[in-house]
Amino acid sequence: MSASPVTWPPAPDWRAWRHVTKLDPDRPLGRAALDAVYRSGTDAIVLGGSAGMTQAAVLDMLARLADSPVPVALEVSTLESAVPGPALFLIPLVLNAPDSRWLGGAQADALSHILPVVGEYIPWDLLLPEAYLVLNPDCTAARITGADTQITPEGAAAWAALAGRVLRLPLVYVEYSGTFGDMALLQAVREHAGPARVVYGGGIRSAREAERAARWAHTVVVGNLVYEDPHLLAETVAAVRG
Ligand code: 1GP
């Protein structure tokens, strides 16, 4: 295979991210809230959502974030939203879904469409797989994937060992989107994920929750708070930095 005709910028140092702010391209976000994100000290912005990841919405959000002081990553959950511009492309795989479609089938399907058309332009070094454990039964991702959200800390530890040590995936994401999760389960994941970075997201609405999650997670993700109380984001950043 010949070398890519495109030279992409180097990937940002995602291993150093302690605090990440997740923005949903499908949700309206005012200028004041965006300014609060920029001023918060967060390490990176991730665009992601379980619904509404249209090409137009993602391109619009990327344009608004052109002046971001921190790297902007894109969680690629639909084929149409895979557009150039982000500093990093996160590829979600759902470990605890019963259908292997969410653990590779959907991604291979997407590649089967992309490879023949723009294969030589794919920035492979900017793609980063995330091994998700989806744990809030009421979140959209759980409804879409049918994830088994009732797993125990021991079950989560086994998934973490499989992802981090056997499959050697770089990230294990403990996802409680919308609700604050079980810290014993997060601890079990951290203790068994081997070299993988452990990411936690879900229900962080104050410094207190951010501090608790940051005890076990390498990276803490805050989403809803930006839309509800953006002025509190900075205190979650301060809390994870200890
Ligand atoms: C969602 O993990 C993130 O994917 C953050 O969750 O929106 O509950 O903060 P919240």
CATH number at residue 116: 3.20.20.390
Q: What is the spatial distance between Cα 161 and Cα 69, in angstroms, rounded to a whole number?
A: 35
Q: Is residue 230 part of a domain?
A: yes
Q: Does residue 223's CB lie within 6 angstroms of at least one atom of ligand 1?
A: yes
Q: Does residue 23's CB lie within 6 angstroms of at least one atom of ligand 1?
A: no
Q: Is residue 2 part of a domain?
A: no
Quote the pTM value: 0.96
Q: What is the spatial distance between Cα 65 and Cα 157, in angstroms, rounded to a whole number?
A: 36
* 172 half-sphere exposure, CB direction, 13 A CA radius: 33
Q: Is residue 7 part of a domain?
A: no
Task: Kindly give the number of the ligand 1 atom that is closest to the alpha carbon of 225.
Answer: 9
Q: Is residue 4 part of a domain?
A: no
Angle of helix 233-241 versus helix 207-216 axis, rounded to 10: 40
Residues near 119 by beta carbon (within 8 Å), at least 6 away in sequence: none
Task: Kindly give the number of the ligand 1 atom that is closest to the alpha carbon of 173.
Answer: 2
Q: Is residue 78 part of a domain?
A: yes
Q: Is residue 8 part of a domain?
A: no
CB of 50 closer than 8 Å to CB of 141:
yes
Tens place of pLDDT for every residue, the chain, 242 residues?
556 788 899 999 999 999 999 999 999 999 999 999 999 999 999 999 988 899 999 999 999 999 999 999 999 988 899 999 999 999 999 999 999 999 999 999 999 999 999 999 999 999 999 999 999 999 999 999 999 999 999 999 999 999 999 999 999 999 999 999 999 999 999 999 999 999 999 999 999 999 999 999 999 999 999 999 999 999 999 999 98
Q: Is residue 11 part of a domain?
A: no
Domain that holds residue 116: 16-241
Q: Is residue 69 part of a domain?
A: yes
Q: What's the structural domain count of the chain? A: 1
CB of 175 closer than 8 Å to CB of 186:
no
